[in-house]
A = this chain, B = another copy of it.
Amino acid sequence: MFEARLLNSAIFKKVLDAIKDLLNEGSFDCSDSGIQLQAMDNSHVSLVSLNLKSDGFDKYRCDRNLILGMNLASLAKVFKSSGEGDTVTIKAQDDADTVSFMFEAKKQDKISDYEMKLMNLDQEHLGIPDTEFSCIIKMPSAEYARIIRDLSQFGESIVISCTKEGVKFSASGDIGTGNVKLAQTINFDKEEDSVVIDMQEPVTLTFACQYLNSFAKATPLSNQVTLSMCDNVPLVVEYEIPDLGYLRYYLAPKIEEDEN
């Protein structure tokens, strides 16, 4: 059987909020080492990769590898009905076609349990190559979300350009042009406010706003976000989930349109 227990169900809530706009369904791959989910988004443009390691759970048991296919909207509803500090326990029998969620309120004698039918989803196996990146930018996640949101007003795509001076986000369209430049900033007092740029080679890539914005839904998961870029390779937007793993999004750059 499979059983995973987490003292703070809010983390799951946030994970679901961060992926349910991109994915209608998800196959959670459960093994001894933890829970993985990898899938192309509904429009088959970007890729979501979630990794929750077993050590991060307060209790974890997985006798046999199993794949739990679930409708993410339904799953989000289940988690929405959990209270703030609830403990959640997820259970599935090895050959079962349902999964159960039990929420225990901390302060109260209240136990809620939900049972959901599992779905049989196609397994697309996605090989994600390990890449060396030219630039790795670590910055406050709220800052990232804000910049993407603001620049989305100006155009459909955003150019991210990283040099040794810093990182520049640009968008342009009918209204005009917007540029936001961030220089490396090490803030020792508030480490999460730092902007750290690790650049081997300068790089300039263009991405579709829509996806960058969707990725920003993961903001509540972490104070910081990491953007990894390299020419002709998908951008990686990573949110670390404290003590538990990470959520990564992959998005291929737009091919430069030479409009002249």
Partner of A177, one of B80, B83, B114, B184: B114
Q: Given A81-B153, A150-B81 in contact, is the A176-B110 Cβ separation under 8 Å?
A: no
**Chain copies in the assembled complex:** 2
- Give how many A residues have a beta carbon under 8 Å from the other chain's beta carbons: 38
Contact of B108 with A193 in the complex, beta carbons under 8 Å: yes
Q: Which residues of B contact A108 (CB under 8 A)?
A: 182, 185, 193
A21 at the interface (CB under 8 A from B): no
Contact of B178 with A112 in the complex, beta carbons under 8 Å: yes
CB interface residues, A 141-161, toward B, < 8 Å: 143, 146, 150-151, 153-154
Contact of B176 with A78 in the complex, beta carbons under 8 Å: yes
CB interface residues, A 99-154, toward B, < 8 Å: 108-117, 143, 146, 150-151, 153-154
Partner of A176, one of B74, B179, B184: B74
Q: Which residues of B contact A143 (CB under 8 A)?
A: 110
Residue of A112, A185, A193 with highest tally of chain B CB at under 10 A: A112
Partner of A113, one of B81, B153, B179: B179
Q: Which residues of B contact A255 (CB under 8 A)?
A: none
Partner of A109, one of B151, B178, B182: B182
Q: Given A77-B153, A81-B153, A153-B77 in contact, is the A177-B111 Cβ separation under 8 Å?
A: no
CB distance from A75 to the nearest CB of B (A): 9
Q: Given A108-B193, A110-B181 in contact, is the A116-B175 Cβ separation under 8 Å?
A: yes
Contact of B150 with A181 in the complex, beta carbons under 8 Å: no
A1 at the interface (CB under 8 A from B): no
Q: Which residues of B contact A146 (CB under 8 A)?
A: 83
Q: Which residues of B contact A80 (CB under 8 A)?
A: 150, 153
Partner of A117, one of B116, B154, B176: B176
Q: How far is the CA of A210 from the CA of B178 in the complex (A)?
A: 35
Q: Which residues of B contact A151 (CB under 8 A)?
A: 81
Q: Which residues of B contact A178 (CB under 8 A)?
A: 78, 81, 112-115
Can you list 21 A-B pairs, Cβ within 8 angstroms, ordered by A? A74-B176, A77-B153, A77-B175, A78-B175, A80-B150, A81-B150, A81-B151, A98-B176, A108-B182, A109-B166, A109-B185, A110-B143, A110-B181, A110-B182, A112-B178, A114-B154, A114-B177, A115-B177, A115-B178, A116-B176, A117-B176
Contact surface of A with B, Cβ cutoff 8 Å: 71, 74, 77-78, 80-81, 83, 98, 108-117, 143, 146, 150-151, 153-154, 166, 175-185, 193, 195
